[in-house]
Amino acid sequence: MNDTYLYGEMFSENILTSYRIYGDRKSLLTPLIILHGGPSGGFDYLLNYRRLADDGRMVIFYDQYGCGRSTHFPHADASFWTIARYLRQLTQLIHHLGIGHGYSILGHSWGGMLAAEHACLQPAGLRGTILASSPASIALWQQEAIRLFNALTPMSNDDIKNVIMPAVIYQNPPEQLVAYYARHVYTLAEEAVHVQRSNAQFAADPTGYHILWGTNELAANGKLADWDITPHLCQIRCPVLVLRGENDQATERVVSPLLSHISDCRAVTIPGSSHNPHEENIAPCLAAVSAFLRDLA
């Protein structure tokens, strides 16, 4: 059975959650929930991970609120956009699907931040967590992003502040920012159709991204600017895989707190890729995730 129907469920708070299931709902393999990045674009750009369902494992993709095909709130003020609300949506989906007794999570970028927050709560059914291209600290992320940017195109702090930080990537961004994205965010010359869908969704309504993160990947100056989960990582009890690309903006320094503070943690770096190894070097990326999932009890 390969169920790929697109569902929509109204859990609470007038939020319609759109989700899609690949694989067999009756499989004895632990289900995997995919948390997309952003926020704002939906899950489509991560659809290469649907191949993890080839052995029958149920793989669940869903759009977070304000993203993709789920309910959007373009006029909601900043107080509406909270990690707690995103975590409630995730928990509601888990309960709705009846998998609270056993599941794993893969979170990419911002989705990895949510996955880490969820793991810190020590839910009884969480078997394992994959943190893909995700930070432990936004301040550390931004320090490294600016370092990587200057290594490509050195600019004064004033120029970075006044020219780069306010730039929106989908609105005629400066060429220096485009070069940074091409090196450290998405290295392929052409985008797959499913990636284009997520990017179009993002461009149509970037509200959540701009409020929580900022105007672009370097400008992490939104509500999450002070986010740092490092002191809480010791609370994570499940096995963790830290996955990143060789030229990822999630550098070794960015992910180092995850490796040093989580007791059961392993790391894999995907060669020839940046922030989207699931697109840029698919085979070793999927192999690393598959091996981790097989090792889980």
Which of 118, 134, 248, 273 is flagged as catalytic? 248
**Position 49 in a domain:** yes
**Active-site entry in 36, 210, 275, 278:** 275
Our answer to whether residue 275 is catalytic in this structure is yes
User: 152-207, pLDDT tens digit by residue?
Assistant: 999 999 999 999 999 988 888 999 999 999 999 999 999 999 999 999 999 999 99
Q: Is the pTM of this model over 0.85?
A: yes
* CATH number where 248 lies: 3.40.50.1820
Residue 15 in any domain: the answer is yes
**How far from chain centre, in Å, is Cα 178?**
21
Residue 88 included in any domain? yes
Neighbour count for residue 72 (Cβ, 10 Å): 20
Q: Is residue 39 part of a domain?
A: yes
Q: Is 18 marked active-site?
A: no
Alpha-carbon span 260 to 265, nearest angstrom: 8
Position 184 in a domain: yes
Domain-embedded: residue 1 = no
From the candidates 18, 109, 133, 198, which is the catalytic residue?
109
**Does residue 263 form part of some domain?**
yes
Placement of tokens 């299931």 in the chain: 21
pLDDT, tens digit only, all 297 positions of the chain: 455 567 788 887 889 999 999 999 999 999 999 999 999 999 999 999 999 999 999 999 999 999 999 999 999 999 999 999 999 999 999 999 999 999 999 999 999 999 999 999 999 999 999 999 999 999 999 999 999 999 999 999 999 999 999 998 888 899 999 999 999 999 999 999 999 999 999 999 999 999 999 999 999 999 999 999 999 999 999 999 999 999 999 999 999 999 999 999 999 999 999 999 999 999 999 999 999 999 995
Verify cis geometry, omega within 30 degrees of 0, for the bond prior to 39.
yes
Q: How many domains does the chain have?
A: 1
Give CA angle at 68 (204, 76), nearest 5°. Answer: 70
Host domain of residue 218: 6-295
List, as one string, the DSSP characters of the chain: ----PEEEEE-STT-EEEEEEES-TT-SSPPEEEE-SSSSS-GGGGGGGGGGGTTS--EEEEPPTTSTTSPP-TT--GGG--HHHHHHHHHHHHHHHT-TTSEEEEEETHHHHHHHHHHHT--TTEEEEEEES--SBHHHHHHHHHHHHHHHS---HHHIIIIITT--TTS---HHHHHHHHHHT---SS--HHHHHHHHHHHH--HHHHHHT-SSSS---SGGGG-B-GGGGGG--S-EEEEEETT-SS-HHHHHHHHHH-SSEEEEEETT-SS-HHHHSHHHHHHHHHHHHHH--
